[in-house]
Amino acid sequence: MKSAFIYSDAYLDYDYGMTHPLKIVRLKLTYELIKALELLSLSSVQFIPARKAEEGILEAFHSREYLQVLKQASQGHFDQSLYRYGLGPGDNPVFQGLYDWSLWVTGATLQATDFVMNGEGDIAFSIAGGLHHAQKAKACGFCYVNDAVIGIRRLISKGKRVVYLDLDAHHGDGVQWAFYDTNQVLNISLHETGRSLFPGTGFENEIGIGKGEGYSVNLPFPPYTDDETYLSAFEEIVPPLICAYQPDLVVTQLGVDTFYSDPLTNLNLTIHGFERLIQRIKKIAPRWVALGGGGYNISNVARAWTLAWALMNSIELKEDLPEAYIEMEAKFGIYERKLRGKESPPVCGKREEIRRETDRVVEYIKNIVFPKVCA
């Protein structure tokens, strides 16, 4: 089995701003930890330097008008006309080079899809990708260009059957709406309920329309859902749907803002639960394109995605982090010495209530969606 890891230090040329929660340096830390653990020197691994997408490729999803606005905003100058495109102070700031940043992210995602689609290997991981909120003509949720949609559209244009599996704490709304009326993609999103978290969508009754009815699958979790409840629901819903759909590839968005120590979200997952999810995906995905996604505790991001990359390559990592990496992370105010850390998040007194609500959603999906996909 061959795998590819796509990355470039060019990512660090861009910055959402000092106060913005999305820190691009988390990508550099992930790469450095993976390298320190010698996970790029495996005989089965190909390191692929990321390259920018060609500008015209973005039109596979986004409107020309919006892309022109992004190019103008990329000069770093803001005016009020940009508000209608989701740009401005807050989630989607205007900063120098934001259009080029989007080209880098999209290019890396396409390199990952091409590697797997063309039979060069079975797994590819682009940690910069997974910016799943961007709409056709609007920036949204830290996302300017929807690299996931563009990558998936390339796959289906080549006749591939695709499952898109989104594990981010935030609902993958941009990807859902892009494929809401088609059965060419089975879109499965596991996330914190929109009742308590942006973008306020992703409820279980959002199942698609027309030919796409049943092919949009949402599993929203109440705040403080833990590993046990999440993994149980995953097992009841995801493997049977993937088995029934029989995709050529699975594209995953591996956001790790589901962890209990993430500053922006309210789920109670641990890195141990994430490890079990990655192990399960590897077993059920015929071929696998992995994208990054959310994660606003940068130590969590580096350790979790490193662990994911190791598991993708059937490597079991020890608990201690390399000393060289520990010295590097200290420069960013991080003092973690263990890969996985403690197993148990804070105890939640609503565990039974959370389990009952999750069971209700699981039964809804089984009763409403399964007959359409699994027939």
Q: What is the pLDDT along the chain (375 residues), one digit of tens a residue?
A: 899 999 999 999 999 999 999 999 999 999 999 999 999 999 999 999 999 999 999 999 999 999 999 999 999 888 899 999 999 999 999 999 999 999 999 999 999 999 999 999 999 999 999 999 999 999 999 999 999 999 999 999 999 999 999 999 999 999 999 999 999 999 999 999 999 999 999 999 999 999 999 999 999 999 999 999 999 999 999 999 999 999 999 999 999 999 999 999 999 999 999 999 999 999 999 999 999 999 999 999 999 999 999 999 999 999 999 999 999 999 989 999 999 987 677 777 899 999 999 999 999 999 999 999 987
Q: Looking up tokens 């005016």, which residue turns up?
A: 79
CB 141 within 8 A of CB 133: yes
| Residues known to be catalytic | 171
- The whole-angstrom separation of Cα 115 and Cα 133 is 24
pLDDT (0 to 100) of residue 344: 72
Q: What is the pLDDT of residue 349?
A: 81
What does the pLDDT read at residue 346?
A: 73
Cα–chain-centroid distance for residue 169?
Answer: 9
pLDDT digits (tens, 9 = 90+) for 253-306: 999 999 999 999 999 999 999 999 999 999 999 999 999 999 999 999 999 999
Chain-wide mean pLDDT for the chain?
96
The residue to which tokens 């190791």 are assigned: 310
State which residues form the domain around 189: 3-373
| SS3 state at 209 | coil
Q: Which amino acid is at 325?
A: Y
Residue 359 is predicted with a pLDDT of 98
Parallel, antiparallel, or unpaired for β 216-221 and 162-166? unpaired
Structure tokens at 279: 């192990």
Question: In this structure, what CATH number is given to the domain that contains residue 105?
Answer: 3.40.800.20
User: What pTM does this model have?
Assistant: 0.97
Q: What is the DSSP letter of 96?
A: T
| Domains in the chain, number | 1
User: CB of 27 within 8 A of CB of 129?
Assistant: no
Evaluate the omega torsion of the peptide bond into residue 199 and state whether it is cis, within 30 degrees of 0: yes
Token output for 299? 């130590």
DSSP string, 69-95: HHHHHTTS---GGGGGGT-SSSSS---
